[in-house]
Copies of this chain bind each other. A is one copy, B any other.
Amino acid sequence: MELFTYYRSTSSYRVRLALALKGLDYRAVPVNLLSGEQHLPAYLAVNPQGRVPALRTENGQVLVQSAAIIEYLEQVYPEPALLPADAAARARVRGVAALIGCDVHPLHNVSVLNRLRACGFDEPAVYQWVQHWIGHGLQAVEQLLDDQGWCFGATPGLADVYLVAQLYAAQRFGLELSGYPRIARVAALAAQHPQWQAAHPARQADAPAQ
């Protein structure tokens, strides 16, 4: 498999985490969002939306959108499972993933922040915008999680993948986790697991040298 990815992209990070948890090998193809590689014809031929991630499967099909890619991986490589079997339990897990994937991350991706700047936002206003939406989202997530273990249960799953990737962005934007004990507990669990660390933005080939 080939993953079109950018080290700091939240949604690329989610897919890297899902691949890592399932122990799947892939080749990373970096797409530099800062230099605009996502808008070049070569990449638009892969994904007409000009966004990362995109996954080229073992059969050569190109899939787009992290939510669709991870559900594909879950179906084709079911073990270890990222979703429980019970329908309502799946909905709880997918609900937290969707809350982060729809109501938090899209409000602070590169293109939205650049649009805000073009509309006259200065950097402090951009920063406040991001903090507002991450704060609101994480407050709701905190209330939806279980009281122990990962987001839901003893093994990591889809909600953890979304949450951990989101926390990297949250911390870049200066958010403190002290008000979110359940979320902080999940972050601490992820920090102890080598699989999670291999997917971390700082560990990617396209990340700047430290």
| Contact assessment for B49 and A140 in the assembled complex, using a CB-CB cutoff below 8 Å | yes
> In the bound complex, what is the Cα–Cα distance between A103 and B64 (angstroms)?
12
Main secondary structure, interface of A, reads helix
Q: How far is the CB of A124 from chain B (nearest CB, A)?
A: 12
> In the bound complex, what is the Cα–Cα distance between A119 and B122 (angstroms)?
11
- Nearest-neighbor residue (CB-CB) of A103 within chain B: B106
From A28-36, A86-94, A187-195, A197-205, give the one contacting chain B: A86-94
A residues adjacent to B (C-beta < 8 A): 48-51, 57, 59, 61, 63-69, 71-72, 75-76, 87-88, 90-95, 97-99, 101-103, 105-107, 112, 115, 119-121, 125, 129, 132, 140, 143-144
The 4 A-B pairs with the shortest beta carbon distances in the complex, nearest first, are A68-B94, A65-B98, A49-B140, A48-B143
